[in-house]
């Protein structure tokens, strides 16, 4: 069974993330989307809520599981028996960072490979940080995030 791990902050999950996840779920037997819990950074959306939003938004994907971790991605990947890391690549902006991450992860764990999926057209310029900025000022983010996330940000998030 081919298990892939899709790690990230997902603060919040966007339609760009969801597109990568849907495509990865067709390539692998099991995909674990895992929220990296960075304890030194104050998140925009609390970890528990982020996990709940991701669970709701990925309900239609039968071979996708939602998880979270602290510490090194390679260690968590090993504990899940994932052979592959999934990452998304948007035009130009992500390249340097993703390249560095790939090399560091390969150095730390040779047996763990990475599959980098190109962002689909409409999502090339979409990021969680932009969504956060627009949401803070009550702008419309419904074209950028799954409906449950838009509802949460519009009506429930304590800004």
Hey, which residues are catalytic here? 17, 41, 90, 128
CB 60 within 8 A of CB 39: no
Residues 6+ apart with CB under 8 A from 60: none
Q: Which residues in 72-91 contact ligand ADP (CB under 6 A)?
A: 87-88, 90
Our finding on whether 10 is near ligand ADP (CB under 6 A) is: yes
CB 122 within 8 A of CB 104: no
Stretch that binds ligand ADP, among 10-18, 23-31, 131-139, 149-157 (CB under 6 A): 10-18
User: Cis peptide leading into 12, omega within 30 of 0?
Assistant: yes
124 vs 148, beta carbon nearer ligand ADP: 124
49 vs 90, beta carbon nearer ligand ADP: 90
| Cβ atoms within 10 Å, residue 84 | 18
CB 49 within 8 A of CB 148: no
Our finding on whether 128 is near ligand ADP (CB under 6 A) is: yes
Size of the site for ligand ADP (CB under 6 A): 16
Distance CA(43)–CA(91), nearest Å, equals: 26
Our finding on whether 127 is near ligand ADP (CB under 6 A) is: yes
Residues of this chain that interact with ligand ADP (CB under 6 A) are 8-10, 14, 16-17, 20, 87-88, 90, 94, 119, 123, 126-128
């Amino acid at each position: 069974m081919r298990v892939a791990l899709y790690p990230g902050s997902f603060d919040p999950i966007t339609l760009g993330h969801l597109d990568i996840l849907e495509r990865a779920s067709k390539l692998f037997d099991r995909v674990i989307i895992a929220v990296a819990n960075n304890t030194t950074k104050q998140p925009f959306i609390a970890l528990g809520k982020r996990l709940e939003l991701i669970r709701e938004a990925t309900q239609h994907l039968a071979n996708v599981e939602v998880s979270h971790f602290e510490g090194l991605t390679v260690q968590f990947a090993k504990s899940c028996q994932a052979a592959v890391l999934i990452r998304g690549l948007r035009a130009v902006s992500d390249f340097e960072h993703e390249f560095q991450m790939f090399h560091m992860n390969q150095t730390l764990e040779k047996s763990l490979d990475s599959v980098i999926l190109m962002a689909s057209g409409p999502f090339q310029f979409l990021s969680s940080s932009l969504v956060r900025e627009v949401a803070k000022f009550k702008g419309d983010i419904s074209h950028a995030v799954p409906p449950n996330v838009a509802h949460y940000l519009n009506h429930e998030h304590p800004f």
